Structure 1
Amino acid sequence: MNRAELSELMIEKVSEVLGVDQAEIGEQTDLGAEYAVDSLELMEIGARLERALGVRMQIEDLLGMRNIGHAVDLVAARIPARPA
């Protein structure tokens, strides 16, 4: 999965949890400042990403997300490299 696909998946999962249109969310979207996302919502987003990607997210990573782009980078670091 490339970064663009991962970004689309992240936006989809955030949209599902927050109940907002995907078009309202971009890589610079600050979940805390713009949507007052709390730790439970972040945990739900993390759980959905874990199920979709088959990776384990660290609680510290979820709580430390600054914006969607940062979250994509954190998730990308958790996905094992696939042989070419």
Structure 2
Amino acid sequence: MPTREELSLLVRTAISEVLGTEAEEVREQTSLAVDHDVDSLELMEIGARLERSLRLRIEVADLTAAQTVGQAIDLLETRTAGRS
């Protein structure tokens, strides 16, 4: 099970690769919708990258429910904690 720090780096890296930014520019308080105007295709690409990296199914509703990067990390932390 990855640590929160590892999940944070993974999430921030996936986002930065899709958006063409630096991972350091993506913080836990970052709102993808407000700060980066992420569209649904970009969001799906981020989700797909995270699914491949974590070998975990992420529901579309989970992706859209997270208001900030930190909330997305919290969600993934909870989901990965349930796996053995």
**TM-score calculated relative to the size of structure 1:** 0.91
Deviation at 1:81, TM superposition (A): 3.9
Residue type matched to 1:5 in 2? E
Q: Percent identity?
A: 48
- C-alpha RMSD over aligned residues: 1.0
Q: How does 1:40-55 map to 2 (within 5 A)?
A: 40-55=41-56
Residue type matched to 1:66 in 2? Q
Residue type matched to 2:13 in 1? E
**Contact preservation (8 Å) 1:56, 1:78:** no
Deviation at 1:77, TM superposition (A): 2.1
Q: State the 4+ residue runs in structure 1 displaced beyond 4 angstroms.
A: none
- Equivalent residue for 2:26? 25
Structure of greater relative contact order (alpha carbons < 8 Å, 6+ residues apart): 2
- 1:14 matched to 2:24? The reply is no
**TM-score calculated relative to the size of structure 2:** 0.91
> What stretches of structure 1 of length at least 5 have no aligned partner?
none
> What stretches of structure 2 of length at least 5 have no aligned partner?
none
User: Could you tell me how far apart the structure 2 residues matched to 1:59 and 1:78 are?
Assistant: 14
User: Could you tell me how far apart the structure 1 residues matched to 2:55 and 2:83 are?
Assistant: 13
**Contact preservation (8 Å) 1:26, 1:68:** yes
